[in-house]
Structures are given as structure tokens and as C-alpha cells.
Chain A
Amino acid sequence: MHGSGIPIWFFIGVLLLVYGGMAFGYGIYEWQTGSYPPLVQLTELHTPVWWGGVLALLGLFYVVKFRPGRAGK
């Protein structure tokens, strides 16, 4: 986004960071307690942990790169 103001990428970063963090945190809890949802398949892959982690890292990258006050593209 050109001009002044917060870039859209920053909003996206925040959302990914929050969502990724929530999924990651829940995945860790699930892994530790072994309380997996009964109808969900492939729980042994611990999807919320790695997918949540990927989303959170991507979000963090965007938040830092496009934080308000820093000139972004």
C-alpha cells in the first residue's frame, strides 16, 4: 500500500501471528496431554504444532517487516 498509514501486510502478519500462536499453543497442549479430538485423522503428525508454527513465523516476519513507522513496499 502506498501512502501513509499501516500497510495491509502488517494486518496480515498480526492475524497470522495470533492464529499461528493459538494453533501452536493448543497443539503443544494436545501433545502433552494426549487429548486428541476423537474424529480427527493423522493426529500423530501433530499438525497444529508445525502448521501453527509456520503461520506464526510467517506472521512474525510480516509484522516486523511492515511494522508501522518502517517504510515498506
Chain B
Amino acid sequence: MFGLVPASHAAGSFGFLPALLAFSTEPLAHLRLLDIFVIAIYFVMVIWIGFYLKGRSNTSEEFFMAGREMTAWIAGLSFVSANLGSLELMGWAGSAYQYGILATHWYWIGAIPAMLFLGLVMMPFYYVSKTHSVPGYLDLRYGGGARTVAAFSFAIEMILMSGVNMFAMAVVMKVVLGWDITFSILVSSVAVALYVGLGGLRSAIFNEVLQFVLIWGGALLVPILGLVQTGGVGGLKKQIMTNMQSMTGVHGDSYFHMWRDTGSFAANPMGVHWTGIVFGLGFVISFGYWTTDFLVVQRVLAAHNLRAARMAPIIGSFFKMAVPFIVILPGLLGLVLLQNPDGSRRQLVGEDVVAACTVSPASGQVDNSSACSAAMAKTTLPAAYQQKVLAGEPDAELHSYNQALPLMMVRYLGPGLLGLGITALIAGFMSGMAGNVSAFSTVWTYDIYKPLINKKGTDSHYVLVGRLSILIGVAVSIGAAYLVMHAHGIMDYVQALFSIFIAPLLAVILFGMFWKRATAPAGFIGLLTGIVFSASLFMWVKLNPAALASVALSPDAKPMAENVFRALWAFLFTFVVVVVVSLLTKPRPVAELDGLVYGATKLPKEEPVPFYKNEYMWAIVVVALFAALNIIFW
């Protein structure tokens, strides 16, 4: 769910969550009775869906793979929705506020090519092999060693992510609505345990599609009304330029260019270079996430036939391209529209500034005024406003970049619609948890329990194990949520797990699918050493921040560049290991690779369909749109 970490959470850090908690004294929004009804109806609906689907989740194929009967549309929406969590929405809106439309790279080049590649090139192998999971594919291709490494990595990552997601939701609900942390954690975990435990993957997919619709229904109004207020895109652009010029003396033009200023690290506010965007983000991170992360791939594996499985990511890519409209645009609009209670323009700040200016509940004063003063000195906050913050004046609030989206929602949404917007955020968090827990359950049952603990269980036994693993998974997630609440530093490591694991996995899977010569020892050793190498790079920068310049090859690189370059080096390292070990070891006979490797697999012939149902035709449309958008916003 946190696959593509927002730029404002650079270096994989979600340390901003405790900072939000620390500063906030007054919730951003006050719900009316109507809003509470809207939220309650959502909870009743998702739990009812779980009970309703219980009767259709009796066999392992039904429980873990949703009976493999999803249409392309449902699998496609669920595929894209599994990545559309609330932290992503809030984080990327905050990134757009900070960096402008550069943040859109994570939605376009950071997703679209990989989604098309999954649908058109990789899906046949996943689908034809009838694997239940990504570690399951590794098992078929490389044997138990690679599977076990991948399965344990996935299982640990999924369950810890679910805990972080749970904690993140509780913090956001606390900040936005003033809800008690334990209340939010318990309500959300009971709801998720009920609906996934009862209905399995089918229930998780149903709720992801539901969440997708809710997010658009709840968030689409913000950019529409914001554009009305700024006088359209032209007005927004003009106001941003004026504000940036007066605030920082920098011309705000770079806020509207995705590629033009990426020729050097120093020329753009994000501190990234186009090579990192294209090769690190556009290839390694994006392909790693969208084609090998089991959380998203599981949705497509549930499609009812190969054509639907291939169409699902292509359908998803259209919606993925549209997401910046409800995420990036509100961030840009926040830059010119958000106001302080006194009517002056509100400037959002980094989480470090919010944390430094923590207010003591007892005195109502800033805890450490010298630290707060020093932190604010690095911002463009007006001097008079800084004085008000230091004096603890009630209308002098500090809000972080990540609050841009909720602040914009509060600005435009009245009773009922605000409830819908909040429900969309809750739904995003809950489907994230549900996705993690359902993926954990499948990997635990098929790739750990079945091969390593009990090979001879009946089908109903494995369904029971799956259900129990969901309950245990949710319980462990609650523990993880409280753990990160009391030891914030752990969150950095949990977030890093994903980015450490993904690049080596991508290299191993690509070789597995496209190189007949890749051997079982190469898969196992490549994956294991690649993970160790990637983790070492992470720890190197963690212990010595100056090492970032070496990892990203530039002294001007900012933390965001570390993610993309670390992924790139880890991929190349694993690439070399797999090639060398393969050449030194004996390959499997080609006959054994049928259904697993390109060139050794006879793909099933697909029935001809009219052009408007053909996946290649729609892929061409996506490519044309993708190219046009990048040229327009060059």
C-alpha cells in the first residue's frame, strides 16, 4: 500500500505522523450528525458485504483467489485502488504543494509503463502458471529457496505495513476529527477482520472497488470548486507565480513543468535528476511495485480469464492517469487558496517545523521556543506570524504539507459531503489494511504453512488456516500499531522494508520469466544477496547521511533521490549476481519451463474479439494519452 512513497515522506519516512499528533490541539473538522450517519452507513455496508460473501468463500480457490471470477473492470479498479490509500492521497497532495507537478511523475511514468508491461507481457506467465502468489511463481520457477525468502519477506512486510496503516489512520482521525487513537484502531481492525475473515479476497476486492468510487465521490469536488475560485487553470497558474515570486523570489514557473528542469539536481525543487526518474522510478521502483508486489498482483490473478487479467491493468492505467486531478491539483490549489483565520494566506510547513513547535497542553505555549524559532527561520513564514506562533496565539496554527488535502476538504465540504470525504479517507485506510491482511493470509497459507508446516491438509483445513491467519494478522497489526506509536523510529525501517525488497525481487522475476538459462541457485542467491545489498545501502545512508551524495551520485541530491538510486543499484547488483551464478550452475531442461518462461511457453490462443475489446488497442490509447500528457506538461 505504501509502495510508492510520497516525496514529502522522503527516504521512506512516515515520521510526520507523530509530529502531527504532537502539535495538534484542535481538530481540523467538526462532524455533524449527518456526517456521523454517512460514516456509520459505510461501516454497516462493509461488514454486511463480509457476511453476505461468507457463503461464497468456502473453498481455498474462493477464499484466497476470489474464485478467479472477477471481470476485467473489477480486477482493474481493485488493482489501482489497492494503491490508492489515504496516506498516498494526503502525502502526494502535500508533495504537490511543495514541489508542484513534479509529483505527478509518481502517477504517470512511475506507474503507467509498468502497468502496461504487467498486462501485456508478464500476466500470461502469472496467469498460465496458475500460481496463487508471487512467491508461488518463484517456487515454480526457482524452487523452494527463493520462494521461502520471498514469502517471509512479504509476510513480515505486509503485517507490519498493516500496523503502520492502522496507526496512520488513527493519527489522521485524531488530527482531523479529534477521535481517540485506541477507538480508531479498534473500530477499523474489527471491521477489517470481520469483512476479510468472512469473505476472503472477494470481500477485500469488493471493498476496494467501493472505496475507489467513494474516493472520487468525496474528493472530486475539491479541485472542481478550487478551480472555480481561482478562475480556472490560468488563474491558478498566475496566482502561484505571483505568490512564489513574493514569497521566495523564485519564479514559480517550475511548478508547472515535469521534465524541463530535471537536467540537474539543483534546478528543480525536488532535487531529482531525469535519469533517476526514468531508470530508478520509471523502471526499477515502478516495475518492481506494479509487477511483483503481491498486494497488487493478487487482484489481477483473481480475473476470470487471461484476457480479463491482461485488460485489468490497462483499465487501471486510465484511472491511474486521472488520479492527479484529485491529488496533485488540490495540493497546487492549496498553495493559493488556504487561509489563516485572520484571512492572510496560510503557508504550510514541513513536519520538522510542526514537531519543533509542539504546544504544551498545560500552558498553551510552545514547548521549546528556541528550537521552534530556529525551525521557522528556515521557512518563508512571515516574521509577524512566527511571533504569533511563539506567543501561542490561538489563531496562529501550524499545519504540515500533508494536511493540504484535509484542509481543502474542510474549506469546501459542508455537512454530509464532509462526512463523505472523511468516509473516503477511512475507506482508503481500511482497504489498505484489508489488502495487506488478505495478501498476508495467502502468502502465509500457501507459501509458508503448506510447504513448510503441513503439506497434507485438506482444502477446508487451509481455508480455516487462512481465516485464522487473518485474525492473527490483525492482532499482530494492532501490536505493530502500538509499537510504532511508542517507538517512532521503527516506522522508518518498516517503510524501508518495501523499498529494500522490491528491486532484487524485480531482477529475479524478470530473469525468471525472460531468460531460460536462469537457474534455481541464481534465483535464491540473487534474491538473498540483493536484499542484503539493498539493506546495506539503506543503513549506510541512515547511519551516515552524507553517503547520500555517493548513492545518488551528486552532492545536490535530496533524500527523494536516494530511494530511486538505491533501487537502481540493488537491481543492477542482483542482475549481475543472477547472471554470474546462472552461468556457473546447471540450468533446468527447457521442457520443465513450460508456462513459466518466455520462449518455452505455449500461450493459450485467445478468441478473436472486436477491436474495442482488444487489449492491444487500449494499450495503444494509453500510450498515446501518456505521451500527450507528458508533452503538455513538459
Q: B213 to chain A: which residues have CB within 8 Å?
A: 12, 15-16
Asked whether, in the complex, the Cβ of A42 is within 8 Å of the Cβ of B412, the reply is: yes
A18-B41, A43-B414 known; A23 and B209 CB under 8 Å?
no
Contact string against A for B residues 216-247, beta-carbon threshold 8 Å, 1 for contact and 0 otherwise: 01000100010011000000000000000000
If the complex has contacts A8-B74, A51-B221, are A37 and B69 also in contact, measured as CB distance less than 8 A? no
Residues in A with CB closer than 8 Å to B52 are 6
Contact A23 B417 (CB under 8 A): yes
Residues of A within 8 A of B413 (CB): 40, 47
Chain B residues, CB < 8 A from A41 = 225, 229, 411-412
Minimum Cβ distance to chain B for residue A25 (Å): 8
User: Contact at B414–A47, with CB atoms within 8 Å?
Assistant: yes
Q: Is A57 an interface residue (CB 8 A)?
A: no
Instruction: For B209, list chain A residues within 8 Å (CB).
Output: 8, 12
A20 to B420, CA, bound (A): 10
Q: Cβ of A30 and Cβ of B74 under 8 Å apart?
A: no
Interface residue ranges of A29-73 to B (CB < 8 Å): 30, 36-37, 39-43, 45, 47-48, 51-52, 55, 73
Which positions 321-345 of chain B face chain A at CB distance < 8 Å?
A: none
Complex CA distance for A42 and B56, rounded to whole angstroms: 47
- Convert B456-468 into 0s and 1s, putting 1 for each residue whose CB lies closer than 8 angstroms to a CB of A: 0000000000000
B14 on the A face (CB < 8 A): no
Query: What is the interface residue range for chain B against chain A?
Result: 20 to 34
B418 to chain A, nearest CB (A): 8
- CB of B269 within 8 Å of the partner chain: no
Residues on B with beta carbons closer than 8 Å to the beta carbon of A30: 414
Cβ–Cβ contact B228 & A40, under 8 A: no
> How many residues of A are in contact with the other chain, CB < 8 A?
32
B67: chain A residues at CB < 8 Å are: 3
B416 on the interface (CB 8 Å rule)? yes
CB distance from B106 to the nearest CB of A (A): 27
Contact B71 A45 (CB under 8 A): no
A52 to B549, CA, bound (A): 52
| Nearest CB on B from A5, distance (A) | 6
A42 touches B217 (CB 8 A): no
Residues of B within 8 A of A37 (CB): 414-415
- Chain B proximity of A9: nearest CB distance (Å): 9
In the complex, how many angstroms separate the beta carbon of B438 from the nearest chain A beta carbon?
16
Q: Say whether B45 faces chain A, with CB atoms less than 8 Å apart.
A: yes
Interface residue B494 (Cβ < 8 Å from any Cβ of A) = no
Interface residues of B in 56-73 (CB under 8 A from A): 56, 67, 69-71
Q: B206: CB under 8 A from chain A? A: yes
Task: Give B122-138 interface residues, CB cut-off 8 Å to A.
Answer: none
Counting from the closest, the 3 A-B pairs by CB-CB distance are A23-B416, A2-B69, A37-B414
Interface residues of B (CB under 8 A from A): 34, 37-38, 41-42, 45, 49, 52, 56, 67, 69-71, 74, 206, 209-210, 213-214, 217, 221, 225, 228-229, 304, 410-417, 420
11 pairs from A and B in contact (CB 8 Å cutoff):
A8-B209, A12-B209, A12-B213, A15-B45, A19-B416, A19-B420, A22-B34, A23-B417, A47-B221, A48-B417, A51-B221
